[in-house]
Structure 1
Amino acid sequence: MQRLQAGVTIPRALGYLALVGLAVLFLWLTLRVDLVIFGGVLFAISLRRTAEA
Structure 2
Amino acid sequence: MRLQGRHAVITGGASGIGLASARAFLREGARVALLDRDEAALAAVAAELGV
Give the TM-score of the pair, scaled to structure 1.
0.27
Which of these two proteins has the greater Rg computed from alpha carbons?
1
Which structure has the highest strand share of the two?
2
More contact order relative to length (CA 8 Å, sep ≥ 6): 2
Which structure has the highest helix share of the two?
1
